[in-house]
């Protein structure tokens, strides 16, 4: 029988999130939840998949799925094409929101803040560990541009393969990393009857994190 949308509901009962379990800053908790996701989520869910939302110069939002590729005390790193739609949006409005959803764990994490480009050295270091096909693809694909058909893309790839026949492809100038510097990180743990736990961390002006509970 086809289930209607109105009837689709699951109760979340796996876990809770209390202040007693949560550190005073968000990075350690993110790392703990990420490690839980690596252990628990089953393929095809990749634990580092997230949705990245940006806004354009007119204030209109856009979102798409990306992979988180780095995390340190400075922030959350992802890689893309600097000339893509998201690249242009981030150039005009250097702020973004990231959402992680780990369904088995019934957890969501939302991260918001300013975005900056990582250094050319950092982009290059990551570019060099990507498989050859991905490195060639970064050169070949004019990400977000309209193309005539699949054959055009394959033609661009063939030209790129010719160009790099005798040399390893270096990191293209139009490709690299971005780092989201978090100002707000919210941890959401699903609970029964939609009375979920939400712990929100806000970065104060003096650089220290404030933790607060939000109503579900």
**Is position 93 annotated as part of the catalytic site?**
no
Q: Does 102 bind ligand FMN (CB under 6 A)?
A: no
Q: Does 153 bind ligand FMN (CB under 6 A)?
A: no
39 in a labelled binding site: no
Q: Does 49 bind ligand FMN (CB under 6 A)?
A: yes
Interface with ligand FMN by CB under 6 A: which range of 83-91, 104-112, 145-153, 206-214?
A: 83-91
- DSSP characters over the chain: -PPPGGG------S----GGGS-SSHHHHHHHHHHHHHHHPPTT--TTEEEEEEE-TTS-EEEEEEE--EEETTEEEEEEETTSHHHHHHHHS-EEEEEEEETTTTEEEEEEEEEEEPPHHHHHHHHHHS-HHHHHHHHH--TTS--S-HHHHHHHHHHHHHHTSSSPPPPPTTEEEEEEEEEEEEEEE--GGG--EEEEEEE-TTS-EEEEE---
Q: Which of 22, 29, 82, 86 binds ligand FMN (CB under 6 A)?
A: 86
Q: Which of 19, 38, 39, 64 binds ligand FMN (CB under 6 A)?
A: 64
30 in a labelled binding site: no
Q: Which of 37, 41, 47, 84 binds ligand FMN (CB under 6 A)?
A: 84
Q: Which is nearer to ligand FMN, 132 or 195 (CB)?
A: 132
67 in a labelled binding site: yes
**Catalytic residue positions?**
194
**Interacting residues with ligand FMN (CB under 6 A):** 49, 62, 64-67, 78-81, 84-86, 143-144
């Amino acid at each position: 029988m086809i289930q209607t949308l109105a009837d689709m509901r699951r109760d979340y009962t796996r876990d809770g999130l209390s202040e007693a379990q949560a550190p005073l800053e968000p990075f350690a908790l993110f790392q703990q939840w990420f490690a839980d996701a690596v252990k628990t989520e089953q393929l095809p869910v990749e634990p580092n998949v997230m949705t990245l939302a940006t806004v354009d110069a007119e204030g209109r939002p856009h979102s798409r799925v990306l992979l988180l590729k780095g995390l340190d005390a400075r922030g959350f790193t992802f890689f893309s094409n600097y000339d893509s739609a998201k690249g242009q949006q981030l150039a005009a409005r250097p702020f973004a929101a990231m959402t992680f959803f780990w369904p088995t764990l019934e957890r969501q994490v939302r991260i918001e803040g300013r975005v900056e480009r990582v250094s050319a050295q950092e982009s290059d270091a990551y570019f060099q560990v990507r498989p050859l096909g991905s490195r060639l693809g970064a050169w070949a694909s004019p990400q977000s541009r309209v193309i005539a058909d699949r054959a055009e893309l394959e033609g661009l790839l063939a030209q790129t393969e010719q160009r790099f026949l005798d040399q390893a492809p270096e990191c293209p100038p139009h490709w690299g990393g971005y780092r989201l510097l978090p100002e707000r990180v919210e941890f959401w743990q699903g609970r029964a009857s939609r009375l979920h736990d939400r712990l929100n961390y806000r970065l104060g002006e003096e650089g220290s994190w404030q933790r607060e509970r939000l109503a579900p």
